[in-house]
Amino acid sequence: MKIAIFIADEGYGHAMRQKNIIHELIDHIPFVEITLYGKDKIDILIDEFGSKISYVDLYSYVITMKDSLGNLDNNGTKECFQNWYKKRELWIETTLKIIDPNTNLIISDSVPQVSQVAKQLGIRQINVQHFTWDWLYFSLYGDDEIYKTLKNDYMKWGEFIFPPLTPKENLNMYPHKSIDLIVNRKLISSTSKKKESKKVYEQKIILLMNNGTQSLTSLISKILQNFPKNKDWMFMLRSEHLNKNDKNIALERDDVKIITGMSNTHLAISNADIVLARGGYNILSELIALNKKSLIIEEKNNPEIISNLNLAKKYKNLTISSHKNVFKELSKLINEKTKLNNNYSDYQLSCAGASQLLHLITKSFERLNKN
């Protein structure tokens, strides 16, 4: 079976979700040939799979822009969509030339214009995403020609699969199937092993998820400079995205442990007692699946993050905070965890979404082969 996977060049969520799906495909479909199309985060998947799959550098043009504080830049994002609208036809022509016409399945997460390619070549397409770009665009700018083009692309061809935390309005836009959370299998495994073993660190751990997004970089800088030390607690964070001054402070503080790389940062969740993170889809999914006590930071102007946090409020392990109230809320969580002296809870939600998607794919192809 030949599968082409198209990933939007926006954030980490699309790439991380497909990483888990690709693992399922490789493990359970004999002789599967996977070609990945993307650009901005393709290195993450090259590091994970190496020569097991093929890669094509192809920029999707669907992306948002952030301001200096990490909030969505309305004007900059509008310009990105205008650029997508201008380059869309050329992208379709280019992709028609480079994709193998014998491809059996296209998985899109989420590149709306690929439906034009799939339809022309008669290739089955599955859209797997936690929001569609027409929903995001309409939330920001309303109904115009760009919105109509985005929506037409989605409606042109393909099935829709939505995981938890998909915006309610988006669910109503397209007929779809629902699946469970899609979460890093290594993270689940390491968390299970941690429960069976002794605690790695004597102090309790606060993981600061600074993966390079500007919305948290400035906040983490304030924490390093001004948050008071507590002998029973230790901060854990990456140093790659710190400026020189903050890195020196982190190295000098005896209550800070440095880790390297995004993968190690995500795996460090298993050792953390409290996690501080932005409201991105991937990290929220991991924290909800593991029921990890967490402080989630708000962002302005971004419909995706606003929807994520509204839907996440029902999970008691998550505390939503503005930048202004972070010190107060973090201190409160530290006091609560210190008094309880144990994990918040033992339950985990189902994170079998990748396996469920695999089942949907294999069953449908079995039916086609019988016919």
Find the CATH number of the domain harbouring 302. Answer: 3.40.50.2000
**Residue 346 belongs to some domain of the structure:** no
pLDDT at 64 over 80: yes
Please, are residues 92 and 113 in contact by the beta-carbon 8 Å criterion?
A: yes
* Residues 281, 295 within the same domain: yes
**Residue 9 belongs to some domain of the structure:** yes
* Residues 143, 195 within the same domain: no
* Residues 218, 321 within the same domain: yes
The mean pLDDT value for 362-368 works out to 76
**Higher pLDDT residue, 69 or 233?**
233
**Residue 157 CA neighbour count, 13 Å, CB half:** 19
Query: Residue 206 and residue 235: Cα distance in Å, rounded?
Result: 5
* Residues 192, 96 within the same domain: no
pLDDT recorded at residue 268: 85
Poorest-pLDDT segment among 248-252, 337-341, 345-349:
345-349
pLDDT at 185 over 80: no
pLDDT recorded at residue 183: 84
**Residue 210 belongs to some domain of the structure:** yes
Counting DSSP H helices and E strands in the chain, the numbers are 15, 13
Its domain, for residue 242, covers 185-340
* Residues 332, 216 within the same domain: yes
Name the average pLDDT for the chain: 89
pLDDT recorded at residue 198: 45
* Residues 248, 237 within the same domain: yes
**Residue 178 belongs to some domain of the structure:** yes
pLDDT recorded at residue 368: 63
Number of domains in the chain: 2
pLDDT above 70 covers a percentage of the chain that reads 89
**Residue 158 belongs to some domain of the structure:** yes
**Residue 151 belongs to some domain of the structure:** yes
Q: Measured on CA atoms in the order 27, 3, 181, 309, is the torsion positive or negative? A: positive
* Residues 301, 362 within the same domain: no
**Residue 143 belongs to some domain of the structure:** yes
**Residue 211 belongs to some domain of the structure:** yes
* Residues 236, 295 within the same domain: yes
* Residues 289, 307 within the same domain: yes
* Residues 6, 44 within the same domain: yes
The mean pLDDT value for 224-245 works out to 90
pLDDT at 97 over 80: yes
* Residues 207, 333 within the same domain: yes
The mean pLDDT value for 131-135 works out to 97
* Residues 134, 19 within the same domain: yes
Helix (H) or strand (E) holding 355: helix 353-370
Q: Name the residue among 104, 172, 183 with its Cα closest to residue 132.
A: 172
3 state DSSP class of 151: helix
